[in-house]
Amino acid sequence: MDLFSIQILRELLAVEKEDLPPAATPKSGPPNPADHWSAALLLERAAYLGKMARYGDGSASETLKEYPQHCAMLSFRSRDGEAEAHENFADIFFVIEGRATLVTGGVMTGAKRVGPGEMRGSAVEGGARQELRAGDVAHVPAGVPHQMLVASEKPVACLVVKVQENP
């Protein structure tokens, strides 16, 4: 972890390590095979990503967990995102706070390959527009160009599940 990340973490926690209560003792029994991220934890992590985004290009994300055919990520945007299309993966957006406009379909302008099965561009032209707000869920199938547009006064945080649709 770099010094910048450590400073943000200290600011978010606002306490020193010795001031923290002792860790809870884990319950005995079989391990839980399910993963769980509470709304409070996701909002806390989104606040951290918001601070990271301010010092970058207006967006920040982190992978929560990778699985064999999908992964769970947390994404924060305070500015419009690039247009993108994933050849093999669908995106499922669960909006946890804020709002954005999701543009899907149409044609990606300035498209360029940035990795295997991954395209990025400057915009999606001629696509359908859908307003997304906290609590909304949107599914973008593999291969469909899409772009998140964010009003500057209303940043958005989403849990994003990337699901492999085409092996």
What would the pLDDT profile of 77-131 be if each residue is shown by its tens digit?
999 999 999 999 999 999 999 999 999 999 999 999 999 999 999 999 999 999 9
25 belongs to a structural domain:
no
| Res 23: pLDDT | 52
Predicted pLDDT of residue 15:
42
Domain count, the chain: 1
Q: Is there a domain that residue 19 lies in? A: no
- Which structural domain, as residue segments, surrounds residue 131? 7-13+39-164
Q: Is residue 73 part of a domain?
A: yes
pLDDT at 37 over 70: yes
Q: How many CA atoms lie within 13 A of 79 on its CB side?
A: 9
Q: Is pLDDT at 142 greater than 60 in this prediction?
A: yes
Torsions phi, psi of 132, nearest 5? -115, 135
Q: Is residue 148 part of a domain?
A: yes
Q: Using 50, 70 and 90 to split pLDDT, how confident is the model at 32?
A: confident
Does residue 151 form part of some domain?
yes
**What does the alpha-carbon distance between residue 54 and residue 29 come to, in Å, rounded to a whole number?**
43
Report the pLDDT value the prediction gives residue 61, as an integer from 0 to 100. 95
* pLDDT at 75 exceeding the cut of 80: yes
CATH no. for residue 89?
A: 2.60.120.10
Mean pLDDT value across residues 153-158: 90
Q: Is the model more confident about 3 or about 30?
A: 30
Answer whether residue 92 is part of any domain. yes
On whether residue 158 sits in a domain, the answer given is yes
Residue 146 pairs in a beta bridge with 84, 104
